[in-house]
Structure 1
């Protein structure tokens, strides 16, 4: 059975997190929602006979034993002005797990079916209230861990990405119409002016697709956070820097080199941007198997890092290992962090700075907290430079892959026109490009796509 084949059912689910709370909500959606509510609600009104978007006080009872389960507020919402575009009932009750489960079981006993993950939002999509990109944004809003990820999710939910995609689709539809209009005249070459118009449209679509695809790396950071990896030799103050940036003791700090032998990570918000800070084992030649494994894991983290902080101890001479380490980072986005500046004079710090090929360095004392505010600002600027308020960005890998595939088909269309290939083949590639763009917002979809998207939702949304 596909997810879209059982919409005749009325579904039910607990829509608030399980755990002790002041309030909880059980939600019903479907053509029998009011009738089911009528079977379990005792109050001054009947749910089947009240106006839409009204709230009513009463009690919920077990439909079989007639046992009172809780005092509730019943919210009645008639289609189509609801989240799912169906009749919806929300039962607001006390938030204890047992109470919620009993009310949920009562709705099932009265005729509802337990909802699958994301089924309420799936119905909102299938019923035309939102498109597929907006449906995915609902999950992103729920999972948002920072101001930046929430803002980007809300922008997608508002339809900003969808508007851009619709604009690209409109141009592809125009191109498709022009190509199909020429198929009837297959014995003749495409008029020069018509071909110019087609190539012009292709160029505009290519530009639009590329601009969106190029935003994915920034969008991924906005959604998932900036991955900042702290590296350096043993005992240069990496763990102290991690603790200072987190403003809590996350890593053990001792004077013994090689204390950190595994990857330690934690999340922090800097000016509304989620940052994952990663402390790694110190880089040095070692015969210790555990330490060698720690260094291997550090190298893996470096490859995944959006920004690398190369920490050096400016009370020590710059070592060959540190010079080699900086060379390894030359292809990556990195900052040099001069630690322990409270223990040396200005001239020594300047001499240290001059030895690095990366002239962007930050002076800090991780132990005393000196220079930490400037370092945080520099970390934040790495994403702030990439993202301007209100700019449409891709945050979803599915969208990026669909647009990349569309771009490949469009390149085939362009090549076909330039080489005067069969219009049927050109039309086929154009149609494939159009379909791939349509996948982003759900103009084209399969059950597999829907299952992959909505299986990641929580039950009750």
Structure 2
């Protein structure tokens, strides 16, 4: 079936694109296109832009002035015949062109269906297809570069290398089982152990990048935590260089989490300002406090903010307990006011972590905070990597399953378990890794993966 969709974002723009893919793409294009000098699109105009108009030929109604391109398969994104119509941007013009395409025999594409067809037709493997959505959602140059590496096959090649080792192990095991009396060199347990350890080592290397990959894909999940009126919202505004959060002298202004993305020299931060931690009778504010505590549990980094102009309160001690076992940066704010607390006393309570003295309203200390975040990131406390990186939770889960399989196989090898029992875990490992590249995967999982894509991609 031939599919069609709008491939550009909804809204006003200079150009809107309607994409068509399938065996009837050319005939549908010719049914609605009228060129100034061209009778029909075809091989003569393969990969060339042609000027003309989209016309509803049933009533000879002019729809839009366009450029149109026919691309003959298999050298296209989907490996099928494709037509792309470049019309005027805007909601109405693009919608009218799409409606005419659908009325001429195409059906509306499902989310990600163009990329799904590229996968099913062998142009991309599954990990490369998933890298496309990561590129679209990339928030920094580094996250884009990592997604591009994955699209170019960095992860696919590594998975293939590991599966090739496993396939050789499985082949040797099957020969030993099926032809025990033949004059064939029998695989030894030492050989299997050597290869199995290599597989395990490579899987563990990939898994070690998963936390870093998550940061690249989703941003460093950074939570600003503190009691009311210590300067949390002011800090968010200072990092963003804009007045995103409401700032007042009234405690409890922030009643819910406020989430923004910011790029600090290539480091993607998903930064969250939370409700101030305190006991309150206000039901709405208490919900915000509870959400703040939940957010801390899911964070990669916590920025704890304390008030130098006041002695530590019971709320401050609760915050200290919340951040003790988390990767954290501690700020002693309002140092421009008469100090009632100093950073040396605070350091003792937070296991001698460094304390940054700031006056956020005066802009003092923000550069030191950003430098600390960068130092943590690049020194390895919060790491980044740009080779074969696991950025996808589905990939991580498959690697965990594969690691369990090969670990069990190695335990069985060490215990001299019959070789046919070992083969089961080797095959499971090979299949679980194959789900990353899409070589061994069910239709239901495919549908779920591509449903996350936008329509038109």
TM-score with structure 1 length normalisation?
Answer: 0.91
| Secondary structure class of the residue paired with 1:93 | strand
1:38 touches 1:47 (CA, 8 Å); kept in 2?
A: yes
Larger deviation: 356-365 or 427-436? 356-365
Q: Does the Cα contact within 8 Å between 1:230 and 1:279 map onto a contact in 2?
A: yes
**Structure 1 position 276 matched with structure 2 position 270:** yes
Pick aligned residue for 2:21 from 29, 35, 47: 29
Q: Does 1:17 align with 2:9?
A: yes
CA distance in 2, matches of 1:347, 1:432: 59
The aligned residue for residue 5 of structure 1 is none
Equivalent in the alignment of 2:310: 316
Q: 1:105 to 1:256 in 2, by over 3 A?
A: closer
Structure-2 separation of matches of 1:262 and 1:106: 46
Query: Any conservation in 2 of the 1:336–1:358 contact (CA below 8 Å)?
Result: no
Match of 2:145 among 138, 151, 168: 151
3-state DSSP of counterpart to 1:342:
coil
How many angstroms does 1:387 deviate by? 4.2
2:166 to 161, 166, 172: 172
Displacement of 1:362 after TM fit?
1.2
- Aligned with residue 111 of structure 2, among 93, 117, 120: 117
Residue pairs, 1:241-252, within 5 angstroms: 241-252=235-246
Q: Deviations over 1:96-136 (max 9, x none)?
A: 32222222222223322222211111111111111000111
Superimposed CA distance per residue, residues 169-220 of structure 1 (whole angstroms, 9 cap, x where no aligned partner): 11111111121121135699x9997211111111011111111112111111
Query: Would you say how many aligned residue pairs link Structure 1 and Structure 2?
Result: 452
Gaps of 5+ in 1: 1-8
Matched residues in 2 for 1:186 and 1:388: separation?
A: 49
| CA distance in structure 2 between the aligned counterparts of 1:404 and 1:389, rounded to whole angstroms | 20
Q: Secondary structure at the match of 1:59?
A: strand
- Aligned mates of 2:253, 2:7 — CA distance in 1: 45
Contact 1:284 1:321 in 2 (8 A): yes
Question: Shift of the alpha carbon at 1:167?
Answer: 0.9
Alpha-carbon separation, structure 1, partners of 2:287 and 2:104: 58
Q: Secondary structure at the match of 1:12?
A: strand
| Aligned with 1:263 (options 257, 262, 278) | 257
Aligned residue in 2 for 1:435: 431
Distance across 1 between alignment mates of 2:18 and 2:434? 34
The offset of 1:285, in angstroms, is 4.2
Q: Does 1:413 align with 2:405?
A: no
CA distance in 1, matches of 2:280, 2:99: 61
Of 121-130 and 284-293, the range deviating more from structure 2 = 284-293
Counterpart of 1:100 in structure 2 is: 94
Flag the 1:316–1:72 CA change in 2: closer, same or farther, 3 A.
same
Correspondence 1:39 to 2:31: yes
Corresponding residue of 1:132: 126
CA distance in 2, matches of 1:359, 1:245: 22
Does 443-452 or 46-55 show the bigger shift? 46-55
For residues 286 and 403 of structure 1, the distance between their equivalents in structure 2, rounded to whole angstroms, comes to 45
* Paired residue secondary structure (2:188): helix
CA root-mean-square deviation = 2.5
CA distance in 2, matches of 1:42, 1:291: 62
Q: Which residue of 1 aligns with 2:419?
A: 423
3-state SS of 1:277 partner: strand
1:224 equivalent in structure 2: 218
| CA distance 1:185–1:144, shift in 2 (3 Å) | same
1:82 aligns with 2:69: no
The 3 A distance-change label for structure 1 pair 22 and 294 is closer
User: In the alignment, is residue 71 of structure 1 matched against residue 42 of structure 2?
Assistant: no
1:458 corresponds to = 454
| Alpha-carbon contact 2:310-2:339 (below 8 Å) kept | no
Q: 1:178 to 1:337 in 2, by over 3 A?
A: same
Structure 1 residues 236 and 187 mapped into 2: Cα distance closer, same or farther (>3 Å)?
farther
Counterpart contact for 2:11–2:89, Cα < 8 Å: yes
Residues of 2 paired with 1:175 and 1:205: CA distance?
10
Unaligned runs of 5+ in 2: none
Instruction: Tell me by how many angstroms 1:320 deviates.
Output: 5.3
CA distance in 1, matches of 2:289, 2:104: 60
Q: Do the aligned partners of residues 53 and 292 (structure 1) sit closer, same or farther apart at CA in structure 2, a change above 3 Å counting?
A: closer
Over 3 Å counting, the alpha-carbon distance change for 1:387 and 1:80 in structure 2 is farther
Q: CA deviation at 1:62?
A: 1.2
Q: Distance in 1 between matches of 2:180 and 2:410?
A: 18
Q: TM-score, normalised by structure 2?
A: 0.92
* 8 Å contact from structure 1 (residues 179, 423) kept in 2: yes
